[in-house]
């Protein structure tokens, strides 16, 4: 149990380190791709499959596809406000928008699938 937690923390730290290194390089834009590597999705999928089985894993994957919508809205807000607002306000607005869209997604998902 403790080893699994250590592994998860190590993976998270490795992702942050990679993002930091890439953000200083000529290919800084790749830093935006790194968080999309399914590090935590892999962990979640193994756990869901182990505890709930293949059908739950399928639903988790489908919800994961739908969860790209809040992320796309977040990125759209960052893109739009990057030159219009200070960085803190830009990211705050984008994050709050993500929260609202994600809440709508969860509400819609629960209404449809439950």
Question: Considering only CA atoms, which of 35, 31, 33 is closest in space to residue 21?
Answer: 31
Q: For the chain, where are the E strands, in sequence order?
A: none
Residues 6+ apart with CB under 8 A from 85: 93
Statement: the pTM of the whole predicted model exceeds 0.75: yes
Round to whole Å and give the CA distance between 77 and 69.
Answer: 12
pLDDT, tens digit only, all 114 positions of the chain:
688 888 888 888 988 999 999 999 999 999 989 888 887 888 899 999 999 999 999 999 999 999 999 999 999 999 999 999 999 999 999 999 999 999 999 999 999 887
Long-range CB pairs of 3-8, under 8 A, 24+ apart, other chains included = 8/43
């Amino acid at each position: 149990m403790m080893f699994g937690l250590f592994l998860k923390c190590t993976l998270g730290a490795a992702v942050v380190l990679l993002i930091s290194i890439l953000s200083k390089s000529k290919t800084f834009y790749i830093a935006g791709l790194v968080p999309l590597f399914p590090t935590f999705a892999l962990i979640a999928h193994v756990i869901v499959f182990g505890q709930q089985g293949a059908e739950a894993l399928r639903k988790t994957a489908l919800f994961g596809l739908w969860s790209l919508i809040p992320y796309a809205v977040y990125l759209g807000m960052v893109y739009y406000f990057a030159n219009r607002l200070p960085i803190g306000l830009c990211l705050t607005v984008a994050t709050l928008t993500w929260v609202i869209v994600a809440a709508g997604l969860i509400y819609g998902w629960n209404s449809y699938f439950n």
